Amino acid sequence: MSFDVANFNVWAQKPFKEQAQAFLNAFWDDVQDQAEFIYTISYKTLRAADMHKKGIEYLYEYREGIDVDFVTGLYFYEKLWERVHKPEMDGTVWAEKSEFSRSMPVKMTAVERKNSLSDQDLNSDNRISFLEYLLHQYAADPEEFIRSSLEQLKSLDPNLDKAQKALVEVNSKLTEIEKQKAQLKKDAKGDGPKAKKAQFQLKSMKNSQMVSDLNARLLKAEAAIRAAQRAAKGSTAHPQGTAWWVERELQEVKELYGAAGARNKSVNGPKKHGKKADAWIKNKEPKWKVK
């Protein structure tokens, strides 16, 4: 192999989202227009495939993986193809969005796909990381990625690090809420006193202390990402992919769960995604259920 596998594995053995951020940081100028597809479609489909393999139904039960075996890789591509051709609620189809043509999976036979997975396996471990998928999909140079990633390690942004830690706190509280909500849904079945109590708690959950704590953490995280962006103005070392990802993830949580007093618009002003803030209370199925 013509590149340093050890340095490559520094990133290939990190959780999926960190692999994606490292890839975006390395090739931001070339792939920033594909970032939304990578986040919304590729990342979430691979995560769902990994959960399927592990028999996990809810995200609050899931510890993010670093790679998948070839069988799960085949399943991932099958679901990826289905996902981009399935109409959204507004009738739009990702496969018909010309701006994401570079991101679209190519239809292959099972044998062709297995051969493709072998080609993607840069570190020859018979597994596929998200990073290997991304490098293959966007025809990016692995050696260039390693050079860029080594520079990333030398220029860590303390302001962005604070924003990432604030987002971890948000997700921690979110996991706590989802876990309790799932238990209340189970307890709410039936007509007995216990069920009625759980039904009441579920309906009033959006006004609970846990949700208030989530709102506070959302506001803290949003302030942290704004501070990181202000500090990064004029800096060429700012990891733009990580900054985009943290803000995008934060925006999604805000839109699904809401934050009293939080701004409705993203710091950089991208269009909104997801459902209204109270949808997680009104919908019958928990938001973090993999379908």
Contacts 24+ apart (CB under 8 A), 111-116: 113/73, 113/74, 113/77, 114/70, 114/74
Alpha-helical segments (H) within 35-109:
35-37, 44-54, 70-85
What ranges do the domains of the chain cover? 5-154, 158-282
Residue pair 129/67 in contact (Cβ under 8 Å)? The answer is: yes
What are the E-state strand segments in 2-146?
67-69, 127-129
Looking only at the bridges linking them, the beta strands covering 67-69 and 127-129 are antiparallel
pLDDT of residue 2: 58
DSSP 8-class letter at 128: E
Confidence check: pLDDT of 269 > 70:
no
Neighbours of 117 (CB within 10 A): 23
pLDDT digits (tens, 9 = 90+) for 80-116: 999 999 999 889 999 999 999 999 999 999 999 999 9
**Alpha-carbon span 55 to 35, nearest angstrom:** 28
Confidence check: pLDDT of 267 > 50:
no
pLDDT digits (tens, 9 = 90+) for 177-225: 888 998 999 999 988 999 999 999 888 887 888 888 988 998 888 888 8
DSSP 8-class letter at 188: T
Token look-up 């803030």 returns 277
pLDDT digits (tens, 9 = 90+) for 37-95: 999 999 999 999 999 999 999 888 999 999 999 999 999 999 999 999 999 988 999 99
pLDDT band at 264 (very low <50, low <70, confident <90, very high): very low
How large a percentage of the chain has pLDDT more than 90?
54
**Alpha-carbon span 67 to 12, nearest angstrom:** 8
116-124 mean pLDDT: 95
